[in-house]
Amino acid sequence: MHTGSKESTGADLSAIIEGLIKADVKFILVGGLAAVVQGAPVTTMDVDIVHNRSSENITKLFAFLKSVSATYRRLDDKVIKPKKNELSGMGHALFTTCFGALDVLAVIEEGKTYEDLIKNTVEIEFRGHVIRVLDLKMLIKLKRTSKDPNDKQRLPVLEETLRQMEGE
């Protein structure tokens, strides 16, 4: 995996989120960090987002990616910078930034897009701003259909966290 000199040795995931907010990017926080901010005791090493794929938002996201020296995560040392037009597709773009790993996803399990997921989000305060986070119920539902063994391993922890939240 490329470990260029601009990449820090420790991830600062909050700096990635803060940068997305300051760049006015419309996104939904998904994945492990979405679980963490809702109280799940899991660890994660990256930020996973599903982004709004409007042309205006892609322009903002692309500018943000340039500002954090984003390059595609690869197994070799080849450095490939993102291209704006690639962000409008339906795929996943896995980046290394100067703050850590950022996974920019057009869709997640079951082919769900930003527009599909927005109704299943909660608003969480982050450093004086509000971010949209995929709610724990939907996160669990999607993880149940995932083929990723890490998702299956986390599932009992997420389910217990939800059970405790609903019991409050």
Nearest to 128 by CA among 13, 10, 22: 22
The verdict on pTM exceeding 0.85 is: yes
What was the pLDDT predicted at 56?
98
How many domains is the chain partitioned into structurally? Answer: 1
Q: Tell me if 124 is assigned to some domain.
A: yes
Q: Tell me if 168 is assigned to some domain.
A: no
Q: What is the CATH number of the domain that holds 124?
A: 3.30.460.40
Q: Tell me if 47 is assigned to some domain.
A: yes
What was the pLDDT predicted at 3?
39
Q: Tell me if 4 is assigned to some domain.
A: no
Q: Tell me if 166 is assigned to some domain.
A: no
Domain that holds residue 127: 13-161
Q: Tell me if 167 is assigned to some domain.
A: no
What was the pLDDT predicted at 151?
86
- 23-46 pLDDT, tens digit per residue, is 999 999 999 999 999 999 999 999
- The Cα 168–Cα 164 span in angstroms is 7
Are 104 and 96 in contact by the 8 Å Cβ rule? The answer is no
DSSP β-bridge partners for residue 81? none
What was the pLDDT predicted at 107?
94
Q: Tell me if 8 is assigned to some domain.
A: no
- The Cα 143–Cα 31 span in angstroms is 9
What was the pLDDT predicted at 8?
42
Are 125 and 38 in contact by the 8 Å Cβ rule? The answer is no
* pLDDT beneath 70: ranges in the chain: 1-10, 168
Q: Tell me if 7 is assigned to some domain.
A: no
